[in-house]
Structure 1
Amino acid sequence: MLIKTRGIVLSYLKYRETSIIARVYTEQLGVQSYVVNGVRKAKPPGRIALFQPFTLLELVAYVARGSGGLTRLSEFRCAEPFQTLPYDVQKGSVVLFLSEIVGKAVREEEQNEPLFRFLHDSILAFDRQTAGSENFALGFLLQLASYLGFGIASGAELTDQVIMAGHSPVAAGSTGPATLRLREFEHYFDELLRTPVTSTIPNGRVRHELLNVLIRYYQLHVEQLGEIRSLDILSQVLN
Structure 2
Amino acid sequence: MLQKTRGIALSYIRYRETSIISRVYTEDFGLQSYIVNGVRSAKSKSNRIALFQPLTLLDMVVYYKADRELHRLSEVKISHPFQSLPFEVTKSTIALFVTEMLNKVLKEEAGSPTLFQFLVNAVLFLEEARTNYENFHLSFLLKLSFFLGFGPESAREFENQLREHSVPFLPDETTEKALNSILRHPIGTPVELSRAARNELLDALVAYYHVHIDSLGEVKSLPVLREVLG
SS in 2 for 1:66: coil
- 1:73-129 Cα offsets, whole Å, 9 max, x none, are 121110111121021111011011011111111110001111001001111111111
Q: 2:37 is matched with which residue?
A: 37
Contact 1:85 1:127 in 2 (8 A): yes
Q: Mind listing any 5+ residue stretches in structure 1 that lack a counterpart?
A: 169-178
The answer to whether the 8 Å contact 1:156/1:183 transfers is no
Q: Where do 1:180-199 residues align within 5 Å?
A: 180-181=170-171, 185-195=175-185, 197-199=189-191
- Is residue 46 from structure 1 mapped to residue 47 from structure 2 by the alignment? yes
What is the CA deviation profile of residues 175-223 of structure 1, one whole-angstrom value per residue up to 9, with x for unaligned ones?
A: xxxx4357774222112123562311012x3322211100111112223
Identity between Structure 1 and Structure 2 (%): 45
Give the Cα–Cα distance (whole angstroms) in 2 for the partners of residues 209 and 50 of structure 1.
35
Q: Give runs of aligned pairs for residues 71-82 of structure 1, distance below 5 A.
A: 71-82=71-82
Task: Tell me, in whole angstroms, the C-alpha distance in 1 between the residues paired with 2:101 and 2:173.
Answer: 25
Give the partner amino acid of 1:238.
L
**TM-score normalised by structure 2 residue count:** 0.92
Could you say which residue in structure 2 is the equivalent of 1:107?
Answer: 107
2:11–2:52 CA contact under 8 A, matched in 1: yes
The answer for the alignment partner of 2:219 in structure 1 is 228
Distance, in Å, in 2 between the alignment partners of 1:215 and 1:44 is 41
Counterpart mapping for 1:1-239 below 5 A: 1-42=1-42, 43-66=44-67, 69-168=69-168, 179-181=169-171, 185-195=175-185, 197-203=189-195, 205-239=196-230
CA distance in 2, matches of 1:186, 1:208: 14
Cα distance, 1:16–1:155 mapped onto 2, change above 3 Å: same
Aligned 8 A contact 1:159 1:182 in 2: no
Alignment match, 1:174: none
Runs of 4+ in 1 over 6 A off after TM superposition: none
- Compute the RMSD of aligned alpha carbons: 1.7
Per mean C-alpha deviation after superposition, the further-off stretch among 190-199 and 48-57 is 190-199
Paired letter, 1:12: Y
In structure 2, the gaps of 5 or more residues are none
**Which residue identity lines up with residue 84 of structure 1 in the other structure?**
S
1:197 is paired with a residue whose SS is coil
Shift of 1:72: 1.3
Secondary structure of 1:167 counterpart: coil
Where 1:22 maps in the other structure, the secondary structure is strand
| Residue-by-residue CA offset, 1:104-156 (whole Å, 9 max, x unaligned) | 11110001111001001111111111101111010111111111111122111
- Counterpart amino acid of residue 220 in structure 2: R
